[in-house]
Amino acid sequence: MAERRKVSAVHSDFVRELDRFLRLDSQNQQRYRAGPGRPGPATLSKSQMILMTESIFTKAFSHYELFLEELFILYTREKLTIGGKRVGSYIFPRDAAHARDMLKSSMPFLEWNSPDNVIRRCETYLAEGNPIKLSITTHSSRLQTMRVIRNAIAHRSSEAATKYNNIVRSELRASPLRILEPGEFLLMADPNNAPSYFLITYLEILRNVANVAVG
């Protein structure tokens, strides 16, 4: 992976991807036919819409994980935030590859989808007051919710399904009449952010996390 030189480059790339996913969702909404009957070549059926929505969500979450990794590595090398502040680091890697190796230690890969793990990593490697910890802590609950939904899409295990169904009940503030597919749930109105639906809410949370994390 090519090394980034500035925090602003990592941030702009991530925001650009979020905007691209939002445009794709808007196009899908215009093509979606919710009623009975078979869709035409220019329209999406319910099953197609669910699949497309799940794909947008998982892709956006994957880009968020990459953004966190790249940003964290820049901060371990004491690169400046967008606001011009230097983030203190407890390690002093030679370059980005060395920083990644130090963070991995004996782990097979770096994992960035757990808010608690990211916060602990911040506390271990970066000085107090770093903007990544602030951004993750502020949105920890909803980030954990997104992680559960991502896992339900990716794994389809009974454990993932149980956690996902609990999240659905919590987010909707009531038990649905039937089990909802993740993409179906993502298209439902968010009671905390009406009239927006959950996919839009979650993508905007990722944007907010990024905006705070880059200082």
- The tens digit of pLDDT for each residue in 33-60 reads 765 555 556 788 889 999 999 999 999 9
Rounded to 5 degrees, what angle do the CA atoms 21, 140, 10 make?
45
Does residue 1 surpass a pLDDT of 60? no
Does residue 4 surpass a pLDDT of 80? no
Domains identified in the chain, total number: 1
Q: Return the H-helix or E-strand segment holding 93.
A: none
Mean per-residue pLDDT, 124-137: 94
Q: pTM of the full predicted structure?
A: 0.91
Residues 6+ apart with CB under 8 A from 178: none
What is residue 3's predicted lDDT score, i.e. its pLDDT?
59
The parent domain of residue 98 ranges over: 1-33+42-215
Q: Are 113 and 150 in contact (CB under 8 A)?
A: yes
Does residue 210 surpass a pLDDT of 70? yes
Q: Are 213 and 135 in contact (CB under 8 A)?
A: yes
Structure-model confidence comparison of residues 167 and 102, the more confident one: 167
Rounded to 5 degrees, what angle do the CA atoms 52, 155, 143 make?
75
Residues 6+ apart with CB under 8 A from 95: 3, 77
Supply the mean pLDDT for the chain. 91
Mean per-residue pLDDT, 74-100: 92
What is residue 109's predicted lDDT score, i.e. its pLDDT?
78
Model confidence band, residue 102 (pLDDT cutoffs 50, 70, 90): confident
Mean per-residue pLDDT, 153-168: 92
Model confidence band, residue 155 (pLDDT cutoffs 50, 70, 90): confident
Q: Are 52 and 30 in contact (CB under 8 A)?
A: no
Give the percent of the chain with pLDDT over 70.
93
Q: Which of 84-88, 138-142, 157-161 has the lowest mean pLDDT?
A: 157-161
pLDDT in tens, 104-122: 877 777 899 999 999 999 9
What is residue 65's predicted lDDT score, i.e. its pLDDT?
97
Q: Are 18 and 60 in contact (CB under 8 A)?
A: yes
Mean per-residue pLDDT, 126-137: 94
Give the percent of the chain with pLDDT over 90.
73
Cis amide leading into 115 (omega within 30): no
What is residue 181's predicted lDDT score, i.e. its pLDDT?
96
